[in-house]
Structure 1
Amino acid sequence: MEPKKNPQLDLKRNSKLYFSIGMTCVLLLAYMALEWKSYDKISEWDIGLNDPNLLPPEEVPITIQKMELPKPKIQTPPEIKIADDEEKIEESVIEAEDTNQDTEIVDVEDIEVADDDIPDTVPFITIENAPVFPGCENEPDEKAKKACFQEMMLKHINKTIRYPELAQEMGLQGRVSVVFTVQKDGSIGDVKLRGPHESLEKEAGRIISKLPKMTPGKQRGTPVKVPYAIPITFKLN
């Protein structure tokens, strides 16, 4: 059976090829449009000084200036005055102090030794021999004695403290900062209190007043004053 149409005259025969060629051309034109660059025209030289009136002269005239030297100053010679003769001064003879075999030697007992500059007050942390709380005398070293001192202080506070009734009724609680000084004789003095209420401060002062007499602290073997600070906390159950 013969076809109705001539294959050579079929328009859809090469449609895919024409479509591919068209798409390629469109993509090529789009790429060239995106990559096209243009630049502004810039002169390679400045034409702002093309006005001949603005240009400097070709030759600068040479000028000669004469400098006048300063006139020399004539100084008059100083006037020499003859002083009167002074009284005759007797010169003292300086004797040598070098020792020799005839020099007497001073006894060691006659030599005065300056006293050590020991401060009157030494902090608890830096003192050589801290104050000793009763019951801490048998500790092996100073570190242990200081630790025992702090432990005994806490025990004394817990044993002696009594919550003030006024503070309980008012619902007062807080921390009272206490600073006292172990005097040179081992007694307690210079008590300073600071707290949230007077009733709590008063009770903290009563607790410190109940402290026993201690062995005083020493610095290089000399008794000194030793301040100590400890907080006392009042807390309602």
Structure 2
Amino acid sequence: MRPKKNPQKDLNKKSGMFFVIGLLLVLGMVYTALEWKSFESFKEYEVAFNKTDESIDEEIPVFELEVTPPPKPPVLPTEIEIIEDDDPIEETEVIAIEVNTETEVVDASDFEVIEEEEEVKVIWSTIEEVPVFPGCENEKDKRACFNEMMQKHIRKNFRYPKLAQEMNIEGRVNTTFMINNDGTIGTIRKRGPHDVLEKEAVRILSKLPKMTPGKQRGSAVKVSFAIPITFKLQ
């Protein structure tokens, strides 16, 4: 006859629960081991309580540096130039002027004062009587005739510089020249895109003929005239 087991004493009945509890414990230990952090302990030292040993006496070595003085500049011997008596020596004669009782006193009225007339310069747009270009003496509108003759003169003497053609240089040169009070051509000023074109513009204007000078209040004056010269390649 086999003895019967007591169901309350059966250990296999709670084996599943014990397995789960053991698994949780193992997982908790593994997690704690992985997340464990350790820090070094920080120790504070009180510096105020440190006392130096007065018996220790340190001497700081002293270094002496010798500076070499700069060399003295050489003393050049004084050169003495000997001049012979035969050499001619030019001397400046100084005439002393002394005033005495016989000196004649000159009156200021004895001197003639020459007043130089101030040179008047007038621009083309404000001149009363414009300069007359040769060939416009009998024209009624001398301003229009002057402009027309200027254009003819430029076309007649115009030459396109070869260097400007080779370098493909073109543009407008603004020129200003002065018609003096004797009818001659004075200072020529120019401003253009290149020196080659400026020189050609000056050459053209320098060939202008002598004109009848312009007048302001009946007196011949200098008159400035501005004209642009255009250089354009075909």
Q: TM-score, normalised by structure 1?
A: 0.49
Structure of greater Rg: 2
Q: TM-score, normalised by structure 2?
A: 0.49
